[in-house]
Structure 1
């Protein structure tokens, strides 16, 4: 009975409590319509950062009013020192007309270094949840007066200090704040707002607070480690991992502008896993619609001995662009390369619109030479673009120049990388001291797992600059010289920052010390296409006669393209080989260039053995079947030759001698010279090898007559060797053979006794 009574009383109390609760719970305020949000920003010039800000605002359909456009900037260098008061003055003037609109919410933000990551509805909802009339952005670092730190209200958690880059509030309250401004344009805006906020009476009467946990504003200065990209369906967000928030406004204040550039490569919709690059085709130039192609000055810089330079020039010639629209400027700092440039000039001086060469006799530094090249375009009003190329760039894409122009960026470079390495022509991030740091996406960009057009802090080797930019934003003429930086780093830093120029519109000499706001030119790298590669110059030895022959280790792709027969791969795809005698296989392996350079190297060395039996070069000092030859070891080419055997001969061996896996090792590797005057033939013999290769290095009936090889066991002769083709046959037991007489001229062959 007592239990039933208790249940009845409890149920009555519960009903009463619920009824009280339902009557006392306040109704949630109606959402603020997005039409009631006005974004005010200050921008005196249309910089790259400003255009990016406006694109992000347009993506979310913000209503933006720009203050101060075209006005001279007198607010100081806000990126490096105090200043920015001009922003408050402009905001004060704008708010006078908005002060009586009580339901209007005003969002005041910077523009050069800020992007939106969310839309108006989200920002208004979060502002309502804050339940204050004015909300400032917050950060963990105090600026500009550290002595004010103790005056800030204590908080349990979050960021304690005010940042003036983001303010949101109802119009009448924002007006009451900025109407107090009576200072100069170059006074500090953040100090002004800080003093108002730190006044307890004003903080209470104006109902102000800070966005302590980055619900709306994310200032990156001092907080880079807190921030990650959050990839979601269709849109990328910035996530603060400390407060588990998704800020709507991302501000690259202080020295974090490059990190903001990285974030803006993705946020809000620049690149996603689902759709890739969504902005890459925005504002592109359609070259097919132009009446004529723009003039391009190509600056070529040869600053150190560079392998494959003639091939570099040939690739330049094959660019798919009208040659009369290309003007060539070459700076060569290496006497060794003068012969290559002279040959190129003699053959092509009338191909280009103009052709200027500055040689080592001018004794220019790299920075001076690069300034000179860029200045030639800057001073020529008809120069549409400046295309800078270092000699270690191998552009394999003939469309490179057109593709770069079409992207319509002020500065853009094609991604080029070292073969099979992560070394490229750009950096994804910089360390605190301004040198290389690996960005989170660097490897994916280099390996083209993420394809797009990327805002980056550093580039080198090859890039395109608009001529109009050289005559405006980059009109200064010493961009490649800065402190102790190398020329490329100096150029990139000067282009990124651009805060050290006098304001030409300043009304008086006294104001010349006032610096522009940060308005650097964005630099981009594109990996939308496969453009080419960088070759290694680090270990290039120019003490040989044909130095590129030794590049098989450092630059294997370029070595193969130059020295391996163009039909070599057909051996495996189309069985492109012949069998003129039993187990004697004949296939293409060397290009004409390889044959000529190997012969040239041997003749340059000149110490032919003379075909004598006594031979100190071999073990025992006696050669049973001597030839008139030079060993690869004598010219220092033994390691390279053995590598050639393993890379290009061993695969053929496995194809023709199925089941036999060669070690690719040979003690005897040499070039033989047959002439009627010295040694015309070779008597029948077996080779000291498991199998032998014999590569013809020159042309029958043009360079010599006669020659060939006869295999006795099969009474089979091959009398028409082809230049660059190799015989491969067993060495011991079965293939007794002889060298047929050379009756006229000189015949050269390269021989290896493999797996002795």
Structure 2
């Protein structure tokens, strides 16, 4: 009896000690992994758009094997506006899967490509698929589409997304073949409805062994899940993480109205930009203009749409661009009668350097949109126009290589980052609000302030940008790009470029209709902050009632570099007479260290100069500082009261054959003034001042204008090389 009572316990112990035998057909933690060469990615692309190239780039990064269907075919999968569609993709899958029907060990992953990015590799996706213990896994969605009447037929899901999304699925080839062989509809019938009806049929679902990726372990659809997904940096990598389910999806699908969010993720994933390496794709597909014999032809579109300060300087900067003038054409639209005199002076000068200049004046009474359409079409209709460079008059391009830098980046549309000094106002938006206006992306401030440097795919840009001529003659061949609904011209351009359709969705069953029905063909727009390009002026309070209106801009547009204030102080005549007086005296120091004019007889950072004291102008100059410079100091350096005294006041002469530059140094002053006495571009080329701590340069100082900056500690600076000609500046070290 005792033995019998103990027997069940002994049997139980024996069962525990026996080695486990996996059940036939069951998945096991120790089951061998699927080799990565047994994974085939299939997608459909009738055209190679920017989105397609981004998808293929992410696939190449992870070494996926990709088969592209439909190349060269016309898209017949629905018009994308008024109807459902997408059946062409199923028909193409049906045709190709017949070739893989008997390959039981082959895993096929189907995905969209125009709005998908891979965030993980084949080994990861196969491991997650194997753990699902199903033969086919479809992407899951929180939105039911296109037939909401099927909601009750879906299995109940307690945690995760309930509805099928046909934008991505993975499974063994024979089982996927069984599904697609049921297709007997038309190309413009709906693919998602077809797959949905198979899934909600319990007999078919169980027979084929289909499930959904409820927790987004493999597929992440962004529509309806914007708040679930965040960018995550970890172990030197960038991933999109679903924080609701704590998963790292492998394929990110920007379905529906989430294209802009996908573009944001695409700036980082997969490892396009990391905290350790920065931008890893910035050199991808670039070109080198130094290696070409003939530069591309560029049409520059200039737009003066409101009274704008410093317009003569803006126009002159166009002529100082480091680009062959024979490869340039100019289109200028001037809406303001006030600026006609400036345009005439510029034209008389520029016509000797640029062969084709088209000017459209205020008498034409064009709207801003009409003028911008005309300028863009000026390039579009010219088969020899390789690039269209649009520049508004409130853009100050201080980098003469701007045009070359943008061309070498080799993007269809790209803009240089320019900002208003001291503000976060720039010429791009990192995100859009639901109504299509400004929203701040997570990385906007870091991009504007230069904490993250690279090439950024953005939804909106304005003021200054470069577009390829062949893009204008292909994807953007519609002439009326700057008109759409009641949008401002710049917003209309960007929306038309993004969406590539001049019609709006009508009576669409859901917001995601556009994505589901036709491949999006939008052109990506990029902003570059890899270089310092310049800044934006404020034109809102520009008053044209004075004779010299730019004199009133010291507060509206004050600072070219941090704590460097720039303001007009001398007339043309005053500059000329001071230079003439110094040249008449003629005893330039030669830029030697030994200098008997100063205490101690040794100058650590010498310049080729003449002191005011040498021509008996010292007292006059000190009076000038007290009367005209000191009041400015009170405005810009609040709380500091200057003595208005300077021991060193002098005029410096820079030229290539004597002294062409000045090494980095601090000034022996509390603050310094530096007044330009002649014109860059006319009297000399090159020159300027660079503040090393801020990586900021003033390369085109305007004649008669002074800039003022702290002398000691914070503003280490150098004189930039003069390439030819002679440059003169007047300098005072104030309050030594």
Q: TM-score higher than 0.5 here? A: yes
CA deviation after TM superposition for structure 1 residue 29, in Å: 1.8
Q: CA RMSD for the aligned pairs?
A: 3.7
1:483 is aligned to: 485
Selected match of 2:568 from 563, 570, 576: 563
CA 1:562–1:399: 2 relative to 1, 3 Å = farther
2:204 is aligned to: 202
Superposed, 1:34-113 pairs within 5 Å as 34-78=36-80, 81-113=83-115
Say if 2:566 and 2:705, in contact at 8 Å, map to a contact too. Answer: no
TM-score, with length taken from structure 2: 0.76
- Structure number with larger C-alpha Rg: 1
Say if 2:551 and 2:567, in contact at 8 Å, map to a contact too. Answer: no
Say if 1:214 and 1:247, in contact at 8 Å, map to a contact too. Answer: yes
Say if 1:307 and 1:540, in contact at 8 Å, map to a contact too. Answer: yes
1:30 is aligned to: 32
Three-state SS of the structure 1 residue aligned to 2:165 is: strand
Determine the C-alpha separation between the residues in 2 that align with 1:493 and 1:310: 33
2:161 is aligned to: 159
Superposed, 1:138-537 pairs within 5 Å as 138-500=140-502, 516-537=518-539
CA 1:127–1:543: 2 relative to 1, 3 Å = same
CA 1:130–1:564: 2 relative to 1, 3 Å = farther
CA 1:75–1:572: 2 relative to 1, 3 Å = farther
Determine the C-alpha separation between the residues in 1 that align with 2:675 and 2:18: 104
Give the total of aligned pairs.
605
Say if 1:80 and 1:254, in contact at 8 Å, map to a contact too. Answer: no
CA deviation after TM superposition for structure 1 residue 224, in Å: 0.9
1:673 is aligned to: none
Determine the C-alpha separation between the residues in 2 that align with 1:70 and 1:583: 79
CA 1:310–1:174: 2 relative to 1, 3 Å = same
Question: Is there any run of 5+ residues in structure 2 with no aligned partner, and where?
Answer: 505-515, 579-590, 592-602, 648-673, 679-703, 707-736
CA deviation after TM superposition for structure 1 residue 317, in Å: 1.1
CA deviation after TM superposition for structure 1 residue 232, in Å: 2.0
Say if 1:261 and 1:456, in contact at 8 Å, map to a contact too. Answer: yes
- Spell out, residue by residue over 1:717-738, the C-alpha distance to the aligned partner (whole angstroms, 9 max, x if none): xxxxxx999xxxxxxxxxxxxx
Say if 1:501 and 1:515, in contact at 8 Å, map to a contact too. Answer: no
Three-state SS of the structure 1 residue aligned to 2:363 is: helix
Say if 2:302 and 2:391, in contact at 8 Å, map to a contact too. Answer: yes
- Spell out, residue by residue over 1:32-81, the C-alpha distance to the aligned partner (whole angstroms, 9 max, x if none): 00011000000000100000000000000000000000100011244885
- Spell out, residue by residue over 1:242-287, the C-alpha distance to the aligned partner (whole angstroms, 9 max, x if none): 0000000000000001100000000001100100000000100111
CA deviation after TM superposition for structure 1 residue 18, in Å: 3.5
- Spell out, residue by residue over 1:96-151, the C-alpha distance to the aligned partner (whole angstroms, 9 max, x if none): 11111111101010000001000001000000000001100001011111111111
- Spell out, residue by residue over 1:585-630, the C-alpha distance to the aligned partner (whole angstroms, 9 max, x if none): 675999xxxx9xxxxxxxxxxxxxxxxxxxxxxxxxxxxxxxxxxx
Question: Is there any run of 5+ residues in structure 1 with no aligned partner, and where?
Answer: 503-513, 596-631, 633-637, 659-694, 700-722, 726-756
Determine the C-alpha separation between the residues in 2 that align with 1:698 and 1:290: 38
Determine the C-alpha separation between the residues in 2 that align with 1:33 and 1:428: 40
CA 1:312–1:724: 2 relative to 1, 3 Å = closer
Say if 1:75 and 1:515, in contact at 8 Å, map to a contact too. Answer: yes
Selected match of 1:653 from 627, 642, 646: 642
CA deviation after TM superposition for structure 1 residue 203, in Å: 0.4
2:652 is aligned to: none
Say if 1:79 and 1:517, in contact at 8 Å, map to a contact too. Answer: no
Higher relative contact order (CA 8 A, sep 6+): 2
> In terms of mean alpha carbon deviation, does 158-167 or 141-150 score higher?
141-150
Three-state SS of the structure 2 residue aligned to 1:418 is: coil
Say if 1:258 and 1:429, in contact at 8 Å, map to a contact too. Answer: yes
Three-state SS of the structure 2 residue aligned to 1:519 is: coil
TM-score, with length taken from structure 1: 0.74
CA deviation after TM superposition for structure 1 residue 653, in Å: 2.7
